[in-house]
């Protein structure tokens, strides 16, 4: 039997983000007979480290705290490469992507794979994030130059992200693959009674109708629309409450906004949670009207739990949700349309059930680790063989 392919992953941190969760899913689900893994972080490995170590894999932390530490990280990572002698480097997120290419610049026979988790160079992403165009241009040039000097195979988490990178970054078709972000259903199990305990811990009425959002508190998640939609729908659903699980730079402002809008008692900021499975179990509807995404794991997790979802009618989210069959799509700029969708699901429990059941079946078919693991294993083999897929 041939030896497993040794993959050295490089990622800035193992914090609670979407890319980090995807790395954990991949590392813990591939066959040990096919793939062996080592994970290297630039800093802060601890949030997801236990799951990786429990699976029997090593984590190397470089302990570099500087912002954009390309040269320092590349130098340190080069030593990790020399020590572990991987067959493939797999990089995740900007700082690690650039540093990995620099570290392996003269290792022509060592292939590099880069995972693409967001449409980073979309003009809309820059506008929403309030990124300075000169800064975006500079970062993109560094990204492109290093990817040219060190030929890289790109794996996009959705067809939309692949198309965006081809348009705004110039990735050739033969060096681009789509493998959807995935969810391990085992991580979403909720013990009996946990959902009821969550509801009780919030101190809400027994008949409360819970609308859940999971995600960072930042501009792309479109919280103002959520608040306005809930406010406009409140007369028709007086028992409804919006739960926000996540942290981010807008937290203080969003709390002020809800108070100023007179809905402070209807919106609960839950902070960073490790009991997302219980929250999903307790919720009645999952609300996700983001302005842009790569492929949102939080939304897919809600689908796995059989929750009816309301999300944005845009290209990427329409790739995930089939309007009227696996969820409801709304204009991400229309509070009236969102309010109408909320009231519709509030008043029609049969519709909630049918949408949730269809969403769960779709998630199992397209977004489970069982559906994506074989694709990753095949890609690693193809890249190692010098093939394009």
Helices (H) and strands (E) in the chain, counts: 16, 13
Residues of the chain with CATH 3.40.50.2000: 5-182+368-384, 185-367
Please give the class, per CATH, of domain 185-367.
alpha beta
Q: CA-to-CA distance for 60 and 42, rounded, in angstroms?
A: 9
Pick the CATH number of 5-182+368-384 from 3.30.565.10, 3.40.50.2000, 3.40.50.720, 3.30.465.10: 3.40.50.2000
CB 47 within 8 Å of CB 14? yes
Q: CA-to-CA distance for 361 and 158, rounded, in angstroms?
A: 19
Give the distance, in angstroms, between the CA of residue 257 and the centroid of all CA atoms in the same chain: 26
CB 227 within 8 Å of CB 267? yes
Please name which of 119, 118, 115 lies closest in space to residue 96, comparing C-alpha atoms: 115
Residue 363 token pair? 């998630």
Q: What is the pLDDT along the chain (389 residues), one digit of tens a residue?
A: 589 999 999 999 998 778 998 999 999 999 999 999 999 999 988 889 999 999 999 999 999 998 889 999 999 999 999 999 999 999 999 999 999 999 999 988 899 999 999 898 988 877 877 788 888 899 999 999 999 999 999 999 999 999 999 999 999 999 999 999 999 888 899 999 999 999 999 998 889 999 999 999 999 999 999 999 999 999 999 999 999 999 999 999 999 999 999 999 999 999 989 899 999 999 999 999 999 898 999 999 999 999 999 999 999 999 999 999 999 999 999 999 999 999 999 999 999 999 999 999 999 999 999 889 999 999 999 999 884 44
* CA torsion, ordered 190, 194, 195, 198, to nearest 10 deg: -130
């Amino acid at each position: 039997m041939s030896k497993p392919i040794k993959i050295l992953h490089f990622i800035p941190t193992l914090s609670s983000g979407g890319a980090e969760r995807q790395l954990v899913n991949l590392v813990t689900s591939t066959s040990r007979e096919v793939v062996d893994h080592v994970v290297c972080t630039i800093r802060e490995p601890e949030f997801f480290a236990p799951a990786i170590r429990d699976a029997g894999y090593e984590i190397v932390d470089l302990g570099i705290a500087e912002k954009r530490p390309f040269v320092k990280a590349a130098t340190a990572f080069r030593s990790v490469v020399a020590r572990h002698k991987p067959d493939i480097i797999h990089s995740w997120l900007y700082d690690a992507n650039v540093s990995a290419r620099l570290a392996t610049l003269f290792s022509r026979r060592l292939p590099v794979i880069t995972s693409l988790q967001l449409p980073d160079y979309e003009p809309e992403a820059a506008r929403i994030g309030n990124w300075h165009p000169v800064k975006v241009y500079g970062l993109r040039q560094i990204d492109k130059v290093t990817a040219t000097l060190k030929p890289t195979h790109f794996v996009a988490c959705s067809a939309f992200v692949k198309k965006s990178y081809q348009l705004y970054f110039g990735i050739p078709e033969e060096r681009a693959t789509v493998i959807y972000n995935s969810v391990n259903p085992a991580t979403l199990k909720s013990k009996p009674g946990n959902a009821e305990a969550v509801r009780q811990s919030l101190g809400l009425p027994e008949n409360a109708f819970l609308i859940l959002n999971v995600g960072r508190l930042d501009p792309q998640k479109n919280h103002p629309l959520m608040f306005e939609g809930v406010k406009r729908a409140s007369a028709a659903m007086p028992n409804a409450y919006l739960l926000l699980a996540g942290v981010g730079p807008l937290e203080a402002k969003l709390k002020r906004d809800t108070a100023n809008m007179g809905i402070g008692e209807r919106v609960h900021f839950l902070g960073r949670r490790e009991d997302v499975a219980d929250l999903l179990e307790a919720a009645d509807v999952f609300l996700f009207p983001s302005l842009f995404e790569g492929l949102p794991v939080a939304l897919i997790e809600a689908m796995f739990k059989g929750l009816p979802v309301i999300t944005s009618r845009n290209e990427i989210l329409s790739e995930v949700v089939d309007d009227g069959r696996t969820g409801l799509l709304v204009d991400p700029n229309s509070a009236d349309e969102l309010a109408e969708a909320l009231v519709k699901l509030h008043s029609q429990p049969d519709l909630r059930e049918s949408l949730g059941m269809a969403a769960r079946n779709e998630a199992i078919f397209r977004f489970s680790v069982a559906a994506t693991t074989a694709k990753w294993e095949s890609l690693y083999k193809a890249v190692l063989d010098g093939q394009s897929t």
